[in-house]
């Protein structure tokens, strides 16, 4: 099968097309013909080797972290899927590789594709939708009336998190450019802070939850817009010891991650708030819950551009350089 992979860590020049053996599904696996996959910042971080300490992949490595497609074979222990089913998923972190024609996925990580979406639309969702769910529902436990700040509302995570926060009954603020203000308001933002002309720290105060997708100075300022007892959940900040425990990391790696996040956790403690790092996990059951919202019209994908499979490198470059106006960049195999 054709796939896009890296044989060594590096920049975009390390990504190349190659022929790979077709995956052989295990008893609990579903073999899927991929119709579309989407590009995520995680792809660049893995390609660059940013996560090689915590995700020690064997090279060569096929890139890609979510997809939509059609079942072509099922393992002997699979009960919920059959050949011909249309499905979508974010594979487990140890089994990525969606920039390819085929992938084998554990049945627990898979869900039926939303009936109302095209393959390209469905492929844009798994990673960002699961990130939003795990941040706002699972970890923050957002309740009606709470104040939630979602950074980069026109980005991949932001466009879905805004809609989910609205469904949870939150009062939602976001940062975005003036050009995208109308879009993010339509998606659920009550307040839009133009990050080019305004400092959100000077505009916002007393928030219960911040979903940080940017890290750095944005994360530091986010700690200060929370009310006492508030939570910052970051997908871009330093990893912490809780994440190391989730990984099953050894004591040395736990200490390293604890040290990486020490400054941020100390700042949070001084503010009377909490900080946690989120590395989203695969989850078919959570995708099913999201699918119900999608098919009910409560959450919709935002797709900026669709590239053909033979332009996967160009699609990655387009996304990495920030050329997308809003939402996700998708790669269509057919």
pLDDT at 235 over 90: yes
Mean residue pLDDT of the chain comes to 96
Q: Which CATH topology does 127-277 take?
A: Rossmann fold (3.40.50)
Q: Which CATH topology does 2-124+301-332 take?
A: Quinone Oxidoreductase; Chain A, domain 1 (3.90.180)
Structure tokens at 265: 């956790």
Position 304 scores a pLDDT of: 98
Overall pTM surpassing 0.95 (yes/no): yes
Residues 106 and 5 sit within 8 Å (Cβ to Cβ): no
Q: What is the pLDDT of residues 25-46, one digit of tens each?
A: 999 999 999 999 999 999 999 9
Q: How confident is the model at residue 310 (pLDDT cuts 50, 70, 90)?
A: very high
Q: How confident is the model at residue 69 (pLDDT cuts 50, 70, 90)?
A: very high
pLDDT at 249 over 80: no
Q: How confident is the model at residue 224 (pLDDT cuts 50, 70, 90)?
A: very high
Task: Determine how many CB atoms are found less than 10 A away from the CB of residue 11.
Answer: 10
Tell me the mean pLDDT in the region 232-246: 89
Task: Determine how many CB atoms are found less than 10 A away from the CB of residue 137.
Answer: 17
Q: What is the pLDDT of residues 78-93, one digit of tens each?
A: 999 999 999 999 999 9
For the chain, the structural domain boundaries read: 2-124+301-332, 127-277
Bridge-based pairing state of the strands 102-106 and 207-212: unpaired
Buried b (16+ CB within 10 A) or exposed e, 73-85: bbbeebeebeeeb
| Segment among 8-12, 51-55, 179-183 with least mean pLDDT | 51-55
């Amino acid at each position: 099968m054709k796939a896009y992979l890296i044989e060594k860590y590096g920049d975009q020049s390390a990504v190349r097309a190659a022929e790979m053996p077709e995956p052989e599904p295990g008893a609990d696996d579903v073999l899927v013909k991929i119709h579309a996959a989407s590009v995520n910042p995680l792809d660049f971080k893995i390609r660059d080797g940013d996560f090689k300490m915590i995700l020690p992949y064997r090279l060569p490595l096929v890139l890609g972290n979510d997809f939509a497609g059609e079942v072509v074979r099922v393992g002997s222990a699979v009960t919920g899927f059959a050949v011909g089913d249309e499905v979508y998923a974010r594979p487990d972190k140890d089994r990525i590789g969606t920039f390819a024609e085929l992938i084998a996925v554990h049945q627990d990580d898979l869900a039926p594709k939303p009936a109302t979406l095209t393959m390209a639309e469905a492929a844009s969702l798994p990673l960002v939708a699961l990130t939003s769910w795990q941040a706002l529902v699972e970890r923050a436990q957002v309740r009606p009336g709470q104040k939630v700040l979602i950074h980069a509302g026109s980005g991949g995570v932001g466009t879905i998190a805004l809609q989910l926060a609205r469904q949870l009954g939150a009062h939602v603020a976001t940062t975005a450019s003036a050009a995208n203000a109308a879009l993010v308001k339509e998606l659920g933002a009550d307040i839009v802070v133009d990050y080019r002309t305004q400092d959100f720290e000077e505009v916002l105060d007393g928030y219960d939850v911040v979903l940080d997708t940017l890290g750095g100075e944005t994360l530091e300022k986010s700690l200060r817009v929370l009310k006492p007892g508030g939570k910052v959940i970051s997908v871009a900040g330093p990893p912490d010891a809780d994440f190391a425990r989730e990984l099953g990391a050894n004591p040395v790696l736990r200490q390293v991650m604890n040290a990486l996040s020490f400054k941020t956790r100390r700042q949070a403690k001084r503010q009377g708030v909490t900080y946690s790092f989120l590395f989203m996990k695969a989850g078919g059951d959570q995708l099913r819950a999201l699918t119900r919202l999608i098919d009910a019209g409560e959450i919709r994908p935002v797709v900026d551009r669709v590239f053909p499979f033979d332009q996967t490198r160009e699609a990655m470059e387009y996304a990495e350089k920030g050329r997308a106006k809003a939402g996700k960049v998708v790669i269509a195999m057919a």
